[in-house]
Amino acid sequence: MELLFIISTFFIAAIIGLLTKRRRVIEYAAIIASAISLVGSFIIANKVATEKIYNVSAVFSIDALGAIILLIISIVSLTTAIYSVEYLRQETAKDIIRVNRPRQYFILLNLFMMAMFMAVSFNNPILAWISIEATSLSTAFLISFYNKPSAMEAAWKYLTVNAVGLLIGFFGTMLYFTAFQPGSEAGLVTWQSLLANASHMNPIIAKIAFIFVLIGYGTKVGFVPMHTWKPDAYGKAPAPIGAMFSAALLPVAILIILKFRIITNSVVGVAFSQHLFLAFGLMSIAVPAFMMLILKDYKRMLAYSSIENAGVIALGFGFGGIAILASILHIIYHSLVKASLFFLSGNYLLKYNSAKIENVKGSINVIPITSVLFLAGFMAITGAPPFGILITKILIFSAGIKTYPIISLIGLLLIVILFIGFFKHAVAMVFGKKPETMKREKENIWLILPSLSLMVLVLLLSFYQPVFLQTLINNAALQY
């Protein structure tokens, strides 16, 4: 009941945007819908923690990891909606966008949120695939939001790469349906029925199917080499949309891959998918590590940071054991921190009118609160104390050093290189020489509060997780 109410609320908020041109009504509708989703997600998460699974019908089902990701989506959605209101108002005041553009923005944002909730909760692989495809359609226009040639190019690249990727993922999904024997019971194919019939699947077909799925949905995650759309899309989309891509859509795609991984492991064993995760994980750390040294755009910098963290998560699931639990925690921490960093990148863009790192200097003397939060976000995302990502990386690589020492050592070396590049850019932006034309101004509370609340939440979760969340994390680690 709660799940259907959440999905309906986002749909109603989108309809309100279509029916009225009153900006405040559209803004409040988006915020209220996200607030309702947060309350509903907590109710669902508590039920899953108690009952281990949440079933509305044969169509909808949420497990422990799904409940965690619903919480992530709802938290990021609410902070994004709140931040977007003031962010778009300031862009309108500066004539960066036309007065009618926020209406389109909030309609598409609500549809994007609805599609992600559906992707997590659908119990049928095809419906989940359709929902992931819907995220592409709803966000393509958000990437091209500013109607610049570079933004249009990024949107077309995003659509093309993701369309091909998801088509490959769909083909892989259909191969899993060969597990059903002729004359078997007709009805809705669920994740559970696929797993129950996995013993009938040809091992070679299972391997091919998982490769296709990993490439297909890995395109949405941004695994290397399917990452090529990410830096352009993140760089050209409005800052809050970058937050939604990195903090919400990335874990949704990872969840779908993991669901297929369970089925594949039951057919061919753990080693096959394990080796694939390790390969894609290491590549996804290597490319951002070296790119970070030469990047010139801070939003693209955050995009490559997301690719690197996706690689760390993949390594965790590849190493297995305690690293799986650490990867689930890493998903939570990364989503909250990365959303905060993208909001802060929007603050930089509003103040400096440039996404170039070389044009952003001495921000500590111009926008000090944003600068302090940005440094805190940099420390958190790179695994500096006292933030929880330090612990998740220690657990992941300590698990890997026992079974895959060479891969672990290479991964650690690459993370150090990435830290150096990120540190160089962050220090230059915050402590460089301030442009003479820049003056210190009072920062808008509504551009600070979403980032601040997320950073505080990350810090709290680094030391303490509520009992229901601990239960969900432990159950998800055992399942996946």
Mean pLDDT of 291-317: 95
Confidence of residue 188 (pLDDT cuts 50, 70, 90): confident
What average pLDDT does the chain have? 93
**Confidence grade of residue 437 (pLDDT, cut at 50, 70, 90):** confident
How far is it, in rounded angstroms, from Cα 65 to Cα 179? 25
Angle of helix 467-479 relative to helix 23-51, nearest 10 degrees, comes to 70
Amino acid at 237: A
How many whole angstroms separate alpha carbon 301 and alpha carbon 357? 9
Mean pLDDT for the stretch of residues 475-479: 94
pLDDT (tens digit per residue) in 351-408: 998 899 999 999 999 999 999 999 999 999 999 999 999 999 999 999 999 899 999 9
- Express each pLDDT in 89-100 by its tens digit: 999 999 888 888
pLDDT of residue 186: 55
pLDDT over 70 at 58, yes or no: yes
| Mean pLDDT value of segment 230-237 | 93
Distance, in Å, from the CA atom of 155 to the CA atom of 479, rounded to the nearest integer, reads 36
User: Quick one: average pLDDT of 230-242?
Assistant: 93
Which two three-digit tokens encode residue 202? 């040809």
pLDDT at 435: 83
Percent of the chain past pLDDT 90, that is, above it, reads 85
Sequence spans of domains, the chain: 2-479
List all residues 6 or more positions away from 86 whose beta carbon is below 8 Å from its beta carbon: 444, 446, 447
pLDDT of 184 higher than 70: no
CB count within 10 Å of CB 147 equals 10
d(CA 361, CA 429): 4
Average pLDDT score over residue span 254-264: 97
For residue 238, pLDDT beyond 70: yes
Tell me what pLDDT residue 182 has: 63
User: What's the pLDDT at 6?
Assistant: 93
What confidence category does residue 287 fall into, taking pLDDT thresholds of 50, 70 and 90?
very high
Query: In the predicted model, is pLDDT for residue 344 greater than 70?
Result: yes
CA distance 327 to 304: 18
Structure tokens at 269: 């064993």
The model carries a pTM of 0.95
Give a three-class secondary structure readout of 446-463.
Answer: HHHHHHHHHHHHHHHHHH
pLDDT tens-digit readout, 401-429: 989 999 999 999 999 999 999 999 999 99
pLDDT score at 291: 95
Q: Quick check: 338 and 247 in contact, CB under 8 A? A: yes
The pLDDT value given to residue 57: 78
Amino acid letter for position 394: I
pLDDT of residue 433: 85
Region 169-184: mean pLDDT is 84
Question: What was the pLDDT predicted at 330?
Answer: 97
Predicted pLDDT at 189? 86
Give the pLDDT band of residue 52 (cuts 50, 70, 90).
Answer: confident
Encoded tokens for 295: 């990047």
